[in-house]
Every structure is written in structure tokens, then in C-alpha cells.
Amino acid sequence: MKELILQTEVTVCTLDEMDASMRMLVEKAKEMTQNAYCPYSNYHVGAAVLLADGQVFAGANQENAAYPSGLCAERTTLFAANANHPNTPVKALAIACYTNGHFSNEPASPCGACRQVMLETEHRFKTPMQVILYGEDKCYVFDRASDLLPMNFVAENLLG
């Protein structure tokens, strides 16, 4: 038996320490929290993606009384970007959360389903997708979506 150690590097910074394009993306994600439909959880999540050609797409979580029927902000955003520009890689994704009258102090982490969609998007274009998790006190910046899901499942796994 042997042990496998997985390590993930993450940059911890403030919004002010980011470059202008990443700050803009985070601000768009923050803005999108106000478009969330979340009457059940009151947990407003906004996301924004920057495509390789400079276009920005944004989305928000959409809840439903039949809980499995809702969709997270990350997936609404990535699906909209990929549906409208299926051949344009996603360069970066920013995520922000707003609840109880303020933005989260700590960065909120995406759910497993969103991580899988982020990984598929990155794998599909064979290019890293930076992921920015916003918090009022600090932000986490991952160089690749695969850093959030190190033991991942991709198309090659289906081939055996």
C-alpha cells in the first residue's frame, strides 16, 4: 500500500490586488447576485465568465420549489456562454455570494456538480480556466478549474 498526497495551490488576495480585468469580472459576479431567484435559501450567488475573445457572460442561481430543478450560478453562466459561443474557451470564472444583507466575508466554494461542469469546460477547450472565489475579507484564485477537483472524471475515463 502507498499513500497519494494531493496538493492544491491557491492565491489568497484582496480584490484590490487583482488586475483590472479580474476585478471587473468579480464586480460583474457581485452585481449578478442581485438577479438571483432564491426565495427558499436567500443565498444569492452570482457568476461571471471572461471568454478568450474578451466577451463576458454572467448568471445567477435560480431556485425552484422542487429543489433538484434549480440551478447554480456557475452552471447557468457556463452553459449560457458555451451555448452562445461553443468554440470560444473560457479564460476565467468569478463567483460571489450575497446573503443576510451583505457579501460573504469568506469566499464561497462551488458545489460538486458545478466543479464537474467547470472541469468539463476547461477540459473541452484544453486550456486552463482561472477560478476566482470572492469574499469581502479575501479572495481565492485558482489557476485551473481542475485544482478544485483533483481526482476528476473526464471524457477519457469513459474509454476505459
Tell me, yes or no, if 74 is annotated catalytic.
yes
Q: Look at the block and give the residue holding cell 427558499.
A: 40
Pairwise CA distance, residues 34 & 17, whole Å: 25
Given 3, 74, 136, 156, the catalytic residue: 74
Between helices 73-84 and 112-125, what is the axis angle to 10°?
20
Cell numbers placing 5: 498526497
- Residues contacting residue 160 through CB under 8 Å, at least 6 positions apart: none
Give the residue numbers marked as catalytic: 74
